[in-house]
Structure 1
Amino acid sequence: MNQFHRIGVVGLGTMGGGIAQVFAMSGRDVVAVEADRTRAEAGVAAIDAFLDGGVARGKVSGEEKRAALARITTVTSPGDLAGVDLVVESVTENLEVKREVLAAAALAVGDETPIVTNTSALSVTELAALLPNPARVAGLHFFNPAPVMRTVEVVRALQTDQGLVDRLVALVNSLDGKQPVVVKDRPGFLVNALLLPYLNDVIQEYDEGLATAEDIDLALKLGLGYRSGPLEMLDMIGLDVHLHATENAYAATSDDRYAPPPLLRQMVAAGRLGTKNGKGFRAGEKRTR
């Protein structure tokens, strides 16, 4: 079975860069598309830094790092995707942007090359409908950080050919430490369909003064064995990202479980976006007892 030897990755941001790294570490050649050379160089620099951390921890050898970086070629035109075996789109969660990117990729690779999207909030079925031969379109949803998180959701759109699903499952199984889960196309797929309401409930309980942010996280970690608390997780994900995901899920389902809590909207409006881009729930918090 074709394991996709040359893979195009569109977008070298946090998710796209992590996905490119995963494929390169698996021995595959990667053609990474970014809007300009500056963004392409920044994406490769981020991969380099991530791999440096692996080398420092003894998880990656220096030779493995050099070989992986050598397998990544950066380009600034979707036209350079011609000849890849698979296209993985990982640009911003905006329908119009994805529409433009996917159309350009489809034009470059023709009607038979599989195209997958790493969207976590948009309908894969709707994206597939925009392209010629939608049977070759699916979702391949990695979690952040892609090199670390083990689960990859293989998302079957209404149009997706079963043969492509099988090939994507085999691809994920060939990636070190990764486990595929096949899911149907629905808002949030599987993991986020369960996670988004949970995080919304935690935000609401925090807003109502049930406990401090630190104690909420401590209780969930110790009581349920989670590696990180829900508010720590929100700070890492980005409150604006969570707001966008919940808005999309609520618009698609009209399910009140996905309705963004008022405090979430207020914090995003105030620029409290999380530990990377501004103070979130836990940034700078100190224990008082």
Structure 2
Amino acid sequence: MTDITNVTVFGTGVLGSQIIMQAAYHGKTVTGYDISDDLLAELPDRWEWMRGYYRRDLADFDEAKFDAAIGSIRTTTDIAEAVADADLVIEAIPENLDLKKQVWAQIGAHAPEKTIFTTNTSTLRPSDFAADTGRPEKFLALHFANLVWRYNTGEVMVTPQTDKKYFDAVLEFAGEIGLVAVPIHKETPGYLLNSLLVPWLNAGAALYVNGVANPADIDNVWRTATNSPHGPFQVFDTVGFNVAANISRASGDPTRIKFADMLQKGIDAGKAGLGDGQGFYRYDSEGNVVEPVEDWNLD
């Protein structure tokens, strides 16, 4: 059992809120930080959205335990308050290197000496902003998959400067909050999961952007020919358009940037994936596909 009891999560969006609940549901004392009270005010709706999925996906789901988790979660817009007693910080803010550098410098300036630092970055190299924390030997990556309670991998990845004892501690912590801890001994952008997943998603996006086929047809051929449960555009819905658009824009690739601009239309309409009940597909209250959204079809 680790000494990691007090956990602070930076970023309360689609994945950040799931990380908060995952840790709180497994008995950790969790503080969620975000930049505005308006963003924090969205969390009660996220808890109720998650409740339905926890109930559906977890055979041993405990309603009272979920309620207790909600009641235990603290939130703040003050960085110093957020990290005042943190044993572990998990950063889940947008995939922007300059923003991560800025936020980590502030976290490092306010966190107590005991705090271990982790990033959930999906595509950036943690070592590119490790120095900004002020304690790179205590800094590493802890990467979560979307729908954390169901797809419960916890990829724990070192940087060249990470002290092994903190690597071991975070691996154990991952197990304590219900994750399958996956050790990654050498830093690589994308970890194991995204190193496999992102090229596949990009291939699907390119077929659509280049006018080859509609999203639902691309998904259908993949599911039928491979017996996989989901095609790439269903995965884009699960990941959420905001995350996918940020990663695509940061790539610098013209095709991926065009795809990000297409996703932005869904974001602006408030239909940015499974969490909104609609993305490339419409979903029922339990997250099952109802039908493809024809507005995404090619002309």
TM-score, normalisation: structure 1? 0.83
| 1:147-158 alignment runs, 5 A limit | 147-158=149-160
CA shift at 1:140, angstroms? 0.8
Determine the C-alpha separation between the residues in 1 that align with 2:270 and 2:234.
9
Q: Which residue of 1 aligns with 2:120?
A: 118
Partner of 2:129: helix, strand, or coil? helix
1:219 to 193, 218, 221: 221
CA RMSD, Structure 1 to Structure 2 (Å)? 2.9
1:41 aligns with 2:41: yes
CA shift at 1:20, angstroms? 0.6
CA shift at 1:88, angstroms? 0.9
Q: Cα deviations across residues 154-207 of structure 1 (Å, max 9, x unaligned)?
A: 12111111111111111112222x212222322222211222211222233345
Compared CA separation, residues 207 and 51, structure 1 to 2 (3 A)? closer
Equivalent pair of 1:139/1:153 in contact (CA under 8 Å) = yes
Partner of 1:105: helix, strand, or coil? helix
Q: Which residue of 1 aligns with 2:5?
A: 5
CA shift at 1:239, angstroms? 4.8
2:191 to 189, 192, 210: 189
Q: Which ranges of 4 or more aligned residues in structure 1 deviate by more than 6 Å?
A: none
Determine the C-alpha separation between the residues in 2 that align with 1:134 and 1:38.
32
AA aligned to 2:171 is V
Q: Cα deviations across residues 127-160 of structure 1 (Å, max 9, x unaligned)?
A: 2111212010011111112233211211211111
Q: Cα deviations across residues 19-72 of structure 1 (Å, max 9, x unaligned)?
A: 010000111111222223332232243124422553477853331122111221
AA aligned to 2:67 is R
- 5+ residue gaps, structure 1, are 252-257
Determine the C-alpha separation between the residues in 2 that align with 1:52 and 1:206.
32
Q: Which residue of 2 aligns with 1:83?
A: 85
Q: Which residue of 2 aligns with 1:254?
A: none
- Percent identical across equivalent pairs? 26
Equivalent pair of 1:21/1:147 in contact (CA under 8 Å) = no
Q: Which residue of 2 aligns with 1:199?
A: 201
Determine the C-alpha separation between the residues in 2 that align with 1:262 and 1:24.
36
Equivalent pair of 1:111/1:133 in contact (CA under 8 Å) = no
- 5+ residue gaps, structure 2, are 282-291
Q: Which residue of 2 aligns with 1:19?
A: 19
Partner of 2:90: helix, strand, or coil? strand
1:276 aligns with 2:275: no
TM-score, normalisation: structure 2? 0.81
Determine the C-alpha separation between the residues in 1 that align with 2:102 and 2:173.
26
Determine the C-alpha separation between the residues in 1 that align with 2:91 and 2:260.
28
AA aligned to 2:74 is T
Compared CA separation, residues 138 and 37, structure 1 to 2 (3 A)? same
1:74 aligns with 2:75: yes
Determine the C-alpha separation between the residues in 2 that align with 1:264 and 1:56.
33
Compared CA separation, residues 129 and 25, structure 1 to 2 (3 A)? same
Equivalent pair of 1:15/1:144 in contact (CA under 8 Å) = yes
Size of the alignment, in residue pairs?
A: 278
CA shift at 1:79, angstroms? 1.0
